[in-house]
Amino acid sequence: MGLRMRVLLTGGCGFIGSAVVRHMVRATDHTVVNVDKMTYAASEDALEAAARSPRHRLIRADIADHAAMRQIFADCQPDAVMHLAAETHVDRSIDGPGPFVRTNVVGTYTLLDVAREYWAGLPAPRAAAFRFHHVSTDEVFGALGAGDAPFTETTPYDPRSPYSASKAASDHLVRAWHHTYGLPTLVSNTANNYGPWQFPEKLIPLVMINALQGKPLPVYGDGANIRDWIFVEDHAEALVRVLERGTPGATYALSARQPRTNLQVVRGICAALDARLPDPAGSRDRLITFVADRPGHDFRYEIDPSASERALDWRAGHDFEHGLGRTIDWYLAHRAWWERIRAVRYAGQRLGNASGSAA
């Protein structure tokens, strides 16, 4: 594949998608056509300097709108697709699974259908170089027990929530389009992401903001559930490597080898905040409150990224403590952003109500 591509990237104003856009504009010669519906978790601010780059274009559109997507493909003539647009919050999927099915399943089908039609009409050299990269989650694999080996690219699927089931369905569709129609697809599954610009309903920003405001830090169950973590900028770099170097039909499991219990994460946030902004009332650990577990809460996720690290010549650059410190410093410096979101977008809505939500 050539060094310069025109990439149609869906969900590029979301948390992970915006990190990919920033990385592409900063560190590659690729051009990005950013297709985003601009739902509640999207933010143009997250694009930072990339928003002003001549190599970035934002198009507001719904990936489940067949006619709109066909027109975008025809107008933009992409060399590759990176599909990140998704509904991702587990608690929201339990409360209302419909939007998850529409975006994650119907939206992915629509993209695949339009991409296959477009790819079939490309000249042979461009068709051979074309890639469709679908970005997914480790939650499709279900839950691990305490002594189980981590997930790999070959772990059988066993989704447990409406969110993970919708992502599993989309993964299966992508692989089917490769095996049935020959569309050159790639799938990547990742651990929990964290870092700058993450919407405040997710675990790390939610706990951090509540701790800053002296509010309770609700933790599901006993806090022993384990999640594997990766700093979002490391993940963005890996995703571009998958697009540039991946083998059609292959799967890539991406993580930073940093599993932590939810309680360890919450206590780490408290300690980092206490070191930066001591609370006169005492350590913020005092705010931790254990609440009833959510339905179907998976015990443990963990990925072994060894095969993908070798294939991509890549390894995550941030350890968890360093990445968490960078994240906390960013939120402290961007208080106006998340305060505005909480004031405007959460009027009458439920913020993720306990620590342990998927990232």
* Residues 130, 2: Cα–Cα separation, whole Å: 10
> Which of 48, 280, 249 has its CA nearest to residue 132?
249
> Which of 8, 28, 48 has its CA nearest to residue 236?
28
147, 149, 155, 161: CA torsion to nearest 10: 40
* Residues 64, 58: Cα–Cα separation, whole Å: 17
- Type of residue numbered 143: A
Give the other-Cβ count within 10 Å of 98's Cβ: 10
* Residues 19, 279: Cα–Cα separation, whole Å: 32
Which of 91, 139, 201, 228 does the annotation list as catalytic? 139
Annotation marks residue 346 as catalytic: no
Annotation marks residue 139 as catalytic: yes
DSSP state of 49: G
Annotation marks residue 163 as catalytic: yes
Residues linked to residue 34 through DSSP beta bridges, in sequence order? 9, 58
Residue 198, CA distances (Å) to 39, 83, 230, 349 in order: 14, 18, 13, 18
**Edge-to-edge strands of the sheet including 192-194?**
192-194, 226-231, 259-261
| DSSP per residue, 328-341 | HHHHHHTHHHHHHH
Parallel/antiparallel/unpaired status of strands 192-194 and 226-231: parallel
Q: Which helix (H) or strand (E) holds 188?
A: strand 185-190
Cβ(201)–Cβ(352) below 8 Å: yes
Which of 163, 194, 252, 331 does the annotation list as catalytic? 163
Which of 79, 91, 138, 228 does the annotation list as catalytic? 138
In the numeric block, which tokens belong to residue 31?
A: 């051009």
- The length of the chain in residues reads 359
* Residues 166, 177: Cα–Cα separation, whole Å: 17
* Residues 84, 187: Cα–Cα separation, whole Å: 11
In the numeric block, which tokens belong to residue 237?
A: 């770099």
**Mind telling me the catalytic residues?**
138-139, 163
